[in-house]
Amino acid sequence: MPITRRPLGPSCTITRVEAQGLIELYLACAPDPFTGNPPDVQTQIRSMYANLEKALLAEGASLGVVLSERLFLSDIDRHFALVARIRKDVYRDLRSGTSFLPATSFIQQPPCSPGQLCALQAWALVPTGHEALATDSIKTRFQNGSIRTLTFGDTRHVCVANITAVKEGQTPVESFTSQAEAMFRNADDALAEARVSWKDVLRTWFWLSDIDRDYSDFNDVRNTLYKARQVSRLPASTGIAGIPYPSALSCAMDLYAYQSKTPVEIATMHAKTMNEAPAYGSAFSRGLKLASPRSTVLFISGTASIDTTGEVVHIGDVENQVRKTCENIETLLDAQGASVDNLVSLISYLKSADSLAAFKKVLGERSWPGDLPNTTVVAGVCRPDWLVEVEGIAIVPH
């Protein structure tokens, strides 16, 4: 199963994974580079989507095969309506008049590059043989939420995106705890609409507008609701600062679920350099392994500069925090017989854009792939002393 990574111009990187009649594409796209004053946001959004479409065409694919995407915006309230309108035009199939809209999350996490106002990551699946992909965009009652499913052979992928505390026409409740509880109830309904359950969920993402204030309360809500739903195998997860739309909301979430008629192995990942997150009250695994006949996929949770006692290390030292974060991820991968060469996608969260140069320096020192799709954004981490967090996906060839 070949894994190839390559930049497609200065504004898009792509990883291609091919096995048993299916190509997976992991893409990170940005607007075209500029000199002088940055272009307005509309120009940048259109440029970003043009780069996505060109990247897919270079792989013999089209926008219709995109299963999920995440949009990173610098000002969610000002840019949401514009990006929503542009992407509907972009995804419209002019021949049939139908739209192919992937499951999409919209979050305010400004890109670290100066003047860049938006970025996106996308995941696409392309059949190589005669067996077709069966896709379905499920109409949902959740405000700005979306669900897309894909069936190939005896496997089914479900992406649930942008679930918040409100459904269409509702007014958000005020307290964070009430919003978080309503968000999880809406996630229950979304999973039911997609005909999956929490036992099928492998990966979650949570965005909190004020993570320093609300992360402890969020953990209390998640712990309680997971217990009530008997979630015994904790998903891989990222809990990070990010502002949903509208910004009056305090939290939002995404889910990825997987079903297979063929037996597969799903197991929790561990690293000898870190303790387990439930030890300090967070209900997630450090990573989750999905081993199917096609490949072994490793979902790496948001990882930071933490030690075996659960303490933050290298406080105030961004370079060494990045080194420790890299070490923890490398150890997670090594325990599964993998390395950074198996990485197919990253999202990196820096507390300050000023840390970008130091971040890139350390990744270069440790020989992490320089052509890896890696979107780097500004976001607060779940502890005030953490300066960086990194999440990723790796694939191990069989």
Report cis status (omega within 30 of 0) of the bond before 246.
yes
Residues 18 and 110 occupy one common structural domain: yes
**Any bridge partners for residue 16, and if so which?**
4, 25
CATH code assigned at 163: 3.30.1330.40
Residues 160 and 172 occupy one common structural domain: yes
The domain of 246 spans: 133-262
Transcribe 80-97 into DSSP letters.
Answer: HHHHHHHHHHHHB-TTT-
Residues 286 and 200 occupy one common structural domain: no
CA distance readout (Å), 298 to 17, 19, 291, 391: 14, 16, 9, 11
Residues 287 and 212 occupy one common structural domain: no
* Residue type present at position 232: S
Phi, psi values for residue 133, rounded to 5°: -90, 135
Model pLDDT, residue 93: 61
* Domain-terminating residue out of 262, 282, 305: 262
Residues 224 and 205 occupy one common structural domain: yes
d(CA 64, CA 100): 5
Q: Domains in the chain: how many in total? A: 3
d(CA 14, CA 101): 20
Residues 55 and 101 occupy one common structural domain: yes
Residues 10 and 102 occupy one common structural domain: yes
* Domain-terminating residue out of 199, 229, 262: 262
Residues 124 and 170 occupy one common structural domain: no
Read off the pTM. Answer: 0.96
Residues 4 and 104 occupy one common structural domain: yes
* Domain-terminating residue out of 130, 159, 181: 130
237, 204 contact by CB (below 8 A):
yes
- List of residues 6+ apart from 193 with CB closer than 8 A: 138, 140, 147
Provide the residue-wise pLDDT of the chain in tens; the chain has 398 residues.
578 998 888 899 999 999 878 899 999 999 999 989 999 999 999 999 999 999 999 998 888 889 999 999 999 999 999 999 999 889 876 444 455 689 999 999 999 999 999 999 999 998 887 777 788 888 788 889 999 999 988 999 999 999 999 986 666 677 999 999 999 999 999 999 999 999 999 999 999 999 999 999 999 999 999 999 999 999 999 999 999 999 999 999 999 999 999 999 999 999 999 999 999 999 999 999 999 988 999 999 999 999 999 999 999 999 999 999 999 999 999 999 999 999 999 999 999 999 999 999 999 999 999 999 999 999 999 999 999 999 999 999 77
Residues 111 and 179 occupy one common structural domain: no
**Any bridge partners for residue 52, and if so which?**
none
Model pLDDT, residue 371: 93
148, 159 contact by CB (below 8 A):
yes
Phi, psi values for residue 66, rounded to 5°: -75, 120
Residues 199 and 178 occupy one common structural domain: yes
Residues 212 and 300 occupy one common structural domain: no
